[in-house]
Structure 1
Amino acid sequence: MSELDLPEFDRTQLHAIRVLRGGGAVVVTSPSPMTYGVVAREPSAINLLVGRPADQPVAVSVHSQAAHDQLFRYLDLRTDALAAVDLALAERIAVLAPIRSDPTMPEWLSPAIEDGWILFFDGVWSPLALLWLTFPFLYGSRAGEAPAASAAEAREQFPAGTVIIDADDRRTPSDVDGAGTVIRVDPAGRFTLHRSGTRDQLAGDGLLDRLRDFRSVIGVLDGSAPSPMGRTYLSTAVTEDGVPRQLVPGTRIRVEFARTPNKNAGGSRVYDVLRVHAGCNRMGAAVAAGELLTGGTLSVTGFGGTQRGCKPPLRAQEEWLQTFLTSKPSWQVDGDELTLTSGSTTITLLDKKIAEPDFPLDGIGWEVGATITNADLRHHRYHADPAWIRIDGEHLSGSTGCNELSGTVTRNNTELTFTDVTITDRTCTGETAEVQAEILATLGAAVTYTIDHNKLTLIAPSGIGLDLKADLDR
């Protein structure tokens, strides 16, 4: 099916995605009674569209799990206050919170910070999921005045040619009572109303009471002992009846604990999430916030996840692990070590940052494993010749599989900018030619990079990118 065969609403979203990738701003809507608003990948694009100074702080939507977790890592708040912030995000309330000054903080958070406070929200709305889920985060206006209440008002308010996603037919007609509500949470965990907003957004004392009560409940449930929440662990030892149990060769148990707002209408407004991997399928479970680690035990009743056909040893290992994790094992955190015990079985795990520290960006040969489109779709070309890049300070070198590559690179905490990228002039064919084209399309300006142990991911503003793995022989 071509883009022309899609409904107009979907075509408009695709056009908006292209505009966002190109550095522009678009006008989007939310469910009633919330209003239309402006989002962009570049803060200056928002300020230009709303007529404000280009460097004025904006808000940021943290609507992917990765962006949410990165932000929460630097908020200057206790875990009970963080849980209440998640409740506010689930209720579509913007949050103004204190953030620590830290040189490791991702650069993309900076435009939403002013005087040590950051303004953020979760903008995802299911009818516009195609747009929102294409990007890990988007910036939004932090202006206080009421924006447009309908697509017609938005067309009157913004310049001709502005991309406006008309979703009025997906909203419930209702009065709009101003801009969105913003709550403020201080370092002590106290919640106050920073800006009164849309009437039906649970604004005012009712919302504040709910947030305060929820924070108190979570504080009691979490207790005062060190918690694994928000951390990822890798197994270092497994024993049964005091005897080591050997895992399938080449595998480790990975256990991740996360707390996240619920984007759906039903269920708890905030979930505690357990994600597990033991070599084949990715498994997960979610329970109401505060109930996963209650009373020193891990409480899950079952797992969902992928359904890959695992080889018998891996399948047996997964079944054994699921049985163990659903038996309500006890847990204990000692520094960077987590111990899970059920009966005579004990699993000892170490914080992933210690067990598998991230490789440095520089001085490593990074081999292309897959190319990326639309920011998240991976494409493996198994018949292409090996391609790789290497970064040494400001120098880029590598191979596209059939041509040598060179160039220069500059960086900040989260982005690389490649310039003067050149290759030799051999003619490439087949899948090698396809990989070369993707490499050249990726290596440009404002390329987002992330490193997870020995894996490097590059994403260009166009959504094209590369998955690479460290090759220490290059």
Structure 2
Amino acid sequence: MSELDLPEFDRAQLHAIRVLRGGGAVVVTNPSPMTYGVVARDPRAMNLLKGRPADQPVGVSVHTQAAHDQLFRYLDLRSDALAAVDFALAERISVLAPIRSDPTMPEWLAPAIQDGWVLFFDGVWGPLASLWLTFPFLYGSSANRTGEAAATSAAEAREQFPTGTMIIDADDRRTPSDIHGPSTMIRVDPAGQFTLHRSGIQDQVAGGADVLLDRLREFRSRIHVLDGSAPSPMGHTYLSTAVTENGEPKQLVPKTRIRVEFARTPNQNEDGSRVYDVLRVHAGCNRMGTAVAAGELLTDGSLWINGFGGTLVGCRPPLQTQEEWLKTFLMSRPSWQVDGDELTLASDGTTITLLDKLIAEPDFPLEGVTWHVGTTITNADARHHRYHTDPAWIRIDGENLTGSTGCNELSGTVTRNNTQLTFTAVTITDRTCTGETAEVQAEILATLRAEVTYTIDHNKLTLIAPSGIGLDLKAVG
């Protein structure tokens, strides 16, 4: 199906994605009773559209678990306060929170930080999921020009913003409301105390700021009791180092490890808990997971799981048996204990010892490593395997880029910060490439055209360009 065959609303989202990837700003619909908003990948574009100084601090919206966890890692808050912040995000409340100064902090947070405080929210809304979930984060603000009220409809946005501004009209998908307003903004201090920073629609609907803040305080207190004072695995990923049954070692299927990930995440759906505790598990085949109300996954020193969902890959018999064994174990209410970087799960004579992934599989350095191209990426998340190509790779040494496209040698220069690489003067030799090798060469050159976002997960490097194209690479040597 071509883009022209899609419904008009879907085409509008695709156009907005292209505008954002190109460095522009887009006016988006928020659910009632909120006003419209402005989002951008470049905060300067958003500020200029709103008629503000280009370098004015902005808010940042986080949409993926990885971006959420990156942000929360640097917030100067206890776990119960972080849970209450997730509650606020689920209510579409904007949050101003203290953030630690750290040289490893990702650069994308900088535009949202001022004087040691970071402003953030979660703008994801179901009807616009295609747009929001394409980007791990976007900078955002209410849809108003300086000195004017925020737009409450697409018609008001068209009147207020310059002709040619990309506006996604989703008025017909909003619930009718007699009142509209920008989001409430709360402030959370390092002691976990909540105060109102700016009145907005959420506190108006709740019956006042005191009512809204009391809900957050009550949730924080409840989480504090449920989480207890013992060290928690929440927010960490662990890899198995040993398994025993009745004191005897149990061998896992060769080349497999048990991976267990604990996460806490806001829930913006109308049904269910406002904050979920999530467990994700992998034992070599299917990816399994479960979600329960915050504080109920790790209760009284036991892991409480009633069932799993996940992928349905047909596993080979040894992997299938191992997967079913692990599901049975995890649903048997095993005890859990964290000792430093180690997590121990035990039940009915079976003990699984796991080590924090950051220790068990530390990330490879970006520089001095040969990174082989595994898959190419389109639209930021669609992976394409190439089976009939010659090996392609890149290597970064200081500011020097070298590599191979599979049939041509490659060279150039590169600069970096915590999250981005900027390639310049990329050249290749002039051999003629054919078949899939030629396709891979074109995709490599398109990715290395200018600035890309990079992430490293142990021995895997992912490069994503603003256009949504990119590369998955794996360390060799």
TM-score, scaled relative to structure 2: 0.97
1:354 aligned to which of 359, 362, 366: 359
Contact 2:35 / 2:180 at 8 angstroms: preserved in 1? no
Contact 2:99 / 2:116 at 8 angstroms: preserved in 1? yes
Aligned to 1:189, the other structure's residue is in SS state: coil
1:207 CA displacement: 1.2
1:466 CA displacement: 0.2
1:385 CA displacement: 1.3
1:64 CA displacement: 1.1
Aligned to 1:148, the other structure's residue is in SS state: coil
1:280 aligned to which of 285, 303, 319: 285
**Structure 1 equivalent of residue 160 of structure 2:** 157
**Structure 2 equivalent of residue 75 of structure 1:** 75
**Structure 2 equivalent of residue 4 of structure 1:** 4
**Structure 2 equivalent of residue 137 of structure 1:** 137
**Structure 2 equivalent of residue 194 of structure 1:** 197
Structure 1 CA distance, aligned partners of 2:429 and 2:179?
Answer: 60
2:303 aligned to which of 277, 294, 298: 298
Structure 1 CA distance, aligned partners of 2:257 and 2:389?
Answer: 30
Q: Deviations over 1:260-312 (max 9, x none)?
A: 01132211110000000000110001110001101000000111100111100
Structure 2 CA distance, aligned partners of 1:38 and 1:207?
Answer: 25
Structure 1 CA distance, aligned partners of 2:348 and 2:4?
Answer: 60
1:322 CA displacement: 0.4
Q: Deviations over 1:168-202 (max 9, x none)?
A: 11112223343211111110000111111116553
Q: Deviations over 1:310-342 (max 9, x none)?
A: 100000000000000000000000000000000
**Structure 2 equivalent of residue 408 of structure 1:** 413
* 2:245 is equivalent to residue 240 of structure 1: yes
* 2:87 is equivalent to residue 87 of structure 1: yes
Structure 2 CA distance, aligned partners of 1:178 and 1:271?
Answer: 27
**Structure 2 equivalent of residue 62 of structure 1:** 62
Matching of residues 300-319 of structure 1 within 5 Å? 300-319=305-324
Judge which range, 3-12 or 210-219, deviates more.
3-12
* 2:195 is equivalent to residue 175 of structure 1: no
Aligned to 1:378, the other structure's residue is in SS state: strand
Cα RMSD between the aligned structures? 1.1
Structure 2 CA distance, aligned partners of 1:107 and 1:399?
Answer: 29
Contact 2:101 / 2:116 at 8 angstroms: preserved in 1? yes
* 2:224 is equivalent to residue 219 of structure 1: yes
Structure 2 CA distance, aligned partners of 1:386 and 1:265?
Answer: 49
**Structure 2 equivalent of residue 259 of structure 1:** 264
Question: Sequence identity of aligned pairs in percent?
Answer: 83
**Structure 1 equivalent of residue 425 of structure 2:** 420
Contact 1:231 / 1:258 at 8 angstroms: preserved in 2? yes
Aligned to 1:141, the other structure's residue is in SS state: strand
**Structure 2 equivalent of residue 46 of structure 1:** 46
Contact 2:404 / 2:410 at 8 angstroms: preserved in 1? yes
**Structure 2 equivalent of residue 468 of structure 1:** 473
Q: Which amino acid aligns with 1:289?
A: A
**Structure 2 equivalent of residue 23 of structure 1:** 23
Q: Which amino acid aligns with 2:151?
A: A
Q: Which amino acid aligns with 1:176?
A: I
2:458 aligned to which of 431, 438, 453: 453
**Structure 1 equivalent of residue 116 of structure 2:** 116
1:94 CA displacement: 0.7
Structure 1 CA distance, aligned partners of 2:149 and 2:281?
Answer: 44
Aligned to 2:421, the other structure's residue is in SS state: strand
How many residues align? The count is 472
Aligned to 1:457, the other structure's residue is in SS state: strand
Contact 2:32 / 2:180 at 8 angstroms: preserved in 1? no
Structure 2 CA distance, aligned partners of 1:35 and 1:176?
Answer: 10
Q: Deviations over 1:417-460 (max 9, x none)?
A: 00000011111111111111110010032200000000000000
* 2:395 is equivalent to residue 390 of structure 1: yes
Contact 1:298 / 1:328 at 8 angstroms: preserved in 2? yes
Judge which range, 272-281 or 137-146, deviates more.
137-146
Task: List alignment gaps of at least 5 residues for structure 1.
Answer: none
1:208 aligned to which of 209, 213, 221: 213
TM-score, scaled relative to structure 1: 0.98
Structure 2 CA distance, aligned partners of 1:179 and 1:323?
Answer: 47
Contact 1:149 / 1:176 at 8 angstroms: preserved in 2? no
